[in-house]
Amino acid sequence: MAVEMRFNVNPSVTMNGEAYGLKGDTGTTFTPSVSEEGIISWTNDGGKQNPEPVNIKGPQGERGEIPDETPSRSVIDLIVERAFIREEIETAGKSLETTTMCRAFVNNTDTTDDYGIQSNTVVTSFSGGNATAFATAIKPTIPNGMQTYGNLTCEVDGETIYVNRITKTYITATVTLIPGTGYDNTIKSAIKQAIVDFTNSLCIGEKLNASELIEECVKVSGGTCNIISIILTNAGRNTDSLDGDITKLWLIKAENVIIAEV
């Protein structure tokens, strides 16, 4: 049975009649939902980046006990805190007119996360403007006790702040398809544009899957062809998916979408 609760990360959060957290103007409401498999995922009503899904059940015990499907208070606390910290950092970074993109990755746990970020560490990636100016803007939003990590070193008020400058990484996509009735150059161009639009809409840290690109191509092809496969190429390596990277932004140009008709 799925479990659903609602949390507002800007003002106080209420659970079992008890309020906690920072008070302020009404902010974004994050709604967690727990699946039967024990995966907690989130949606929100403010167009914000949602926390990563988390498996809160863990491995089954030796006696076959069924883990409680309801997330523990500590797990919820960490997820809500993580979302709040990330929003504060990104808002500060984007307040600079020179910032064209900003994404904060927050690991407020005691273990290394899926991005390879060490415990209690903030990694902030940005593009546009001066690194020291950017580090100065985000410094007040980094919680005490959390360290920063990045490929650029900035000295701010006697403290070292590390940040990442985003690297635009252009890839190639090879689409293999079987043409059918109605397939023409217009459809071919639409397929290329669908791949460009979807890929270039991703934010830094988001994974790119060939299966998602195939779905986009099917939408615009209107049944005029059969999409067999899409192979992604980055730095000479072929794959059907590119993992999210905290420093790289996956991009593609139309001329780098190759259509192979068989």
**Secondary structure (DSSP) of the chain:** --EE--EESSS-EEETTEEES---S--PEEEEEE-TTSEEEEEESS-PPPPPPEE-S-SPPTT-PPPPSSPPHHHHHHHHHHHHHHHHHHHHHHTSTT-SEEEEEEE-SSS--TT-PPTTEEEEEEESS-HHHHHHHHGGGSPTT-EEE-SEEEEETTEEEEEEE-EEEE-EEEEEEEE-TT--HHHHHHHHHHHHHHHHTPPTT--EEHHHHHHHHHHHHTTSEEEEEEEEEETTEEESEE---SSEEEE--GGGEEEEE-
How many Å apart are CA 184 and CA 189, to the nearest integer?
9
- 107, β-bridge pairs: 121
How many Å apart are CA 174 and CA 157, to the nearest integer?
49
Residue 205 predicted with pLDDT over 80: yes
Please say whether the beta carbons of 203 and 248 come within 8 A: no
β pairing state of 241-242 and 237-239: unpaired
**pLDDT single digits (tens) 29-65:** 777 887 877 788 888 887 777 887 877 666 655 655 6
Segment 241-253 mean pLDDT: 92
Quick one: tokens of 84? 């709040």
Residue 3 predicted with pLDDT over 70: no
Q: Please report the pLDDT score of residue 7 as a whole number.
A: 46
Percent of the chain with pLDDT over 70: 83
Helical axes 131-138 vs 73-94, angle rounded to 10°: 140
**pLDDT single digits (tens) 112-144:** 998 889 999 999 999 999 999 999 999 999 999
How many Å apart are CA 81 and CA 86, to the nearest integer?
9
Give the residue from 243, 249, 259, 238 showing the smallest Cα distance to 170. 249
pLDDT band at 66 (very low <50, low <70, confident <90, very high): low
Please say whether the beta carbons of 29 and 8 come within 8 A: yes
Residue 106 predicted with pLDDT over 80: yes
Residue 215 predicted with pLDDT over 70: yes
Q: Please report the pLDDT score of residue 142 as a whole number.
A: 95
Segment 96-123 mean pLDDT: 92
Residue 91 predicted with pLDDT over 70: yes
Q: Please report the pLDDT score of residue 163 as a whole number.
A: 96
Q: Please report the pLDDT score of residue 199 as a whole number.
A: 96
How many Å apart are CA 129 and CA 98, to the nearest integer?
5
How many Å apart are CA 223 and CA 58, to the nearest integer?
43
Q: What is the pTM of this model?
A: 0.65
pLDDT band at 255 (very low <50, low <70, confident <90, very high): very high
Segment 146-166 mean pLDDT: 94
Q: Which residue has the tokens 């209420």?
A: 14
Residue 253 predicted with pLDDT over 70: yes
pLDDT band at 240 (very low <50, low <70, confident <90, very high): very high
More confident residue, 23 or 202: 202
How many Å apart are CA 127 and CA 260, to the nearest integer?
35
Mean pLDDT of all residues belonging to the chain: 85
pLDDT band at 26 (very low <50, low <70, confident <90, very high): low
